[in-house]
Amino acid sequence: MSNLIPPHGGKGLVCCLLEGAELEAEKKKAEGLPKLNISSRAKGDLIMMGIGGFSPLDGFMTKADWKGVCENFLMADGTFWPIPVTLDASADDAAKINVGDEIALYYPKRDEIMATMKVTEKYEMTEEDKKFECEKVFMGEGTPTAEEFWKIAKDDHPGVQMVMQQGEFNLAGPVKVLSEAEYPTEYPGIYQRPAESRAIFEERGWKEIAAMQLRNPMHRSHEYLCKIAVEVCDGCFIHSLIGNLKPGDIPADVRVKCIDALVKNYFVEDKVVQGGYPLDMRYAGPREGLLHATFRQNYGCSRMIIGRDHAGVGDFYGMFEAQTIFDKIPCPTEEGKALLCTPLKIDWTFYCYKCDGMASLRTCPHDKADRVLLSGTMLRKMLSEGGELPDHFGRDEVVAILREYYEGLTEKVEVKLHGAATGN
């Protein structure tokens, strides 16, 4: 009997990835099916459904699921889910596909069929439908009215841009996943299936595990959050996004090197596990914090570290909105349908010269001038411009890795600062 938190949805790990003879037969069959080109986001979603990371999902959402998730965080069957997982198609492509058809989901960048799908529903996504999704999923306290939101979101919010650029239809239906793409070979030992992380936690005898979400290089504040988690849980799962980011973000292989250096030099190694997952960022702030907790439950984590501006972009979200949203979500009573992974809420953390160490707004009585305010965005901006970092901003080993990366860039992307990055 496992001591770990059960997977979300009450059905165990729902894995759509085929293996062995079944996989080879489906690959052969897929070659003869009509092909639909899919996005990088859909590729990541498919892999997560394949390995059980999106349990209990076994395919792309119906219109009822999509609407329920947008409106009240619940799929049509009453299971909690925070962000739509949908597959879009252009009007031309959708016109060639009928309900009941089987299709092959093709990812052009790799020239690979990622999955097959049985189409059970085809529904139109009008401009108003897309705007509805954006306002429900991406609009936060930073832009309290829809009018204010749309003034800036269409140009400055990558998640909104992604939704608005989608095709005119969504296709729903169960999938059979045929590939994990590049992740097993490019990130051996980092990329993990939920069954693998669960096996590691079981082997170590852990029960309470906190997940640390990373999309930026690990600076002193991240390190401090993980160490707080180690103090109150059995261990910490440092879990990095290794899918696509927005331009200017630091690639996964560089971030993994930084984490390796930190774990080796500044952690008790048997208290942390490093892993990676294959999703693209949606930049949905509070809603994405909920998604992070949902799939971390599948990976075996009972707590989700939620700090300042979790999964945010620009100034679209309140500083701690990703914490308070956990107090507002529905809690279905039917077994398995509620989110069980709970937030480990930690205040804004920083290095304080007067405290002579890491501290937070809850523990430090000193002024802003005495603090080194840490953010991944600020770190990227200063390094990309060749600037000097303040003392105690990052560990020397990590800064050296990042400087080497930035010195090797031939093209640089301007990094915009926002309120959460500057302390305003």
pLDDT digits (tens, 9 = 90+) for 174-220: 999 999 999 999 999 899 999 999 999 999 999 999 999 988 778 88
**What residue ranges of the chain are covered by domains with CATH 3.40.50.620?**
184-422
How many residues comprise the chain?
424
CB 284 within 8 Å of CB 140: no
- Quote the pTM value: 0.93
Pairing of strands 169-177, 59-60: antiparallel
Q: What integer pLDDT is reported at residue 374 of this predicted model?
A: 65
Residues whose CB is less than 8 angstroms from the CB of residue 327 and which lie 6 or more positions away in sequence, other chains included: none
**What residue ranges of the chain are covered by domains with CATH 3.10.400.10?**
20-125+166-181
Pairing of strands 349-352, 357-360: antiparallel
CA distances from 227 to 47, 163, 218, 233 (A): 30, 37, 13, 10
Neighbours of 144 (CB within 10 A): 11
Helix segments in 217-341, DSSP class H: 220-232, 252-266, 285-299, 321-324
The Cα 183–Cα 160 span in angstroms is 26
Q: Which of 215, 296, 308, 395 is catalytic?
A: 215
Q: Which of 170, 193, 216, 303 is catalytic?
A: 216
Pairing of strands 35-37, 102-107: parallel
Q: What integer pLDDT is reported at residue 24 of this predicted model?
A: 98
Residues whose CB is less than 8 angstroms from the CB of residue 21 and which lie 6 or more positions away in sequence, other chains included: none
What tokens appear for 89 in the block?
């198609």
pLDDT digits (tens, 9 = 90+) for 249-288: 788 888 889 999 999 999 999 999 999 999 998 999 999 9
When the candidates are 3.20.20.10, 3.20.20.70, 3.90.550.10, 3.10.400.10, the CATH number that belongs to 20-125+166-181 is 3.10.400.10
Of the candidates 10, 158, 129, 157, which has an alpha carbon nearest to the alpha carbon of residue 71? 129
Q: What integer pLDDT is reported at residue 422 of this predicted model?
A: 46
Strand partners, 87: 171
CB 86 within 8 Å of CB 61: yes
Of the candidates 144, 171, 138, which has an alpha carbon nearest to the alpha carbon of residue 66? 171
pLDDT in tens, the chain (424 residues): 789 999 999 999 999 999 999 999 999 999 999 999 999 999 999 999 999 999 999 999 999 999 999 999 999 999 999 999 999 999 999 999 999 999 999 999 999 999 999 999 999 999 999 999 999 999 999 998 999 999 999 999 999 999 999 999 999 999 999 999 999 999 998 999 999 999 999 999 999 999 999 887 788 889 999 999 999 999 999 999 998 776 777 888 888 899 999 999 999 999 999 999 999 989 999 999 999 999 999 999 999 999 988 988 889 999 999 999 999 999 999 999 999 999 999 999 999 999 999 999 999 999 999 998 866 667 777 777 777 777 887 899 998 998 888 888 876 655 554 554 444 4
The Cα 327–Cα 307 span in angstroms is 15
Question: Any idea of the CA torsion for 222, 226, 227, 231, to the nearest 10 degrees?
Answer: 150
Strands (E), 38-118: 59-60, 87-89, 102-107, 112-118
- Is 216 catalytic? The answer is yes
Q: Tokens 């925070």, residue?
A: 82
Instruction: State the Cα angle at 311 between 262 and 290, rounded to 5°.
Output: 110
Instruction: Classify 184-422 by CATH class.
Output: alpha beta
Q: In this structure, is the dihedral angle defined by the CA atoms of residues 66, 67, 70 and 76, taken in order, positive or negative?
A: negative
The Cα 238–Cα 213 span in angstroms is 7
Peptide bond connecting 217 to the previous residue in cis, omega within 30 degrees of 0: no
Q: In this structure, is the dihedral angle defined by the CA atoms of residues 365, 370, 372 and 377, taken in order, positive or negative?
A: positive
Of the candidates 36, 20, 131, 129, which has an alpha carbon nearest to the alpha carbon of residue 89? 36
Helix segments in 52-141, DSSP class H: 63-72, 91-95, 127-138
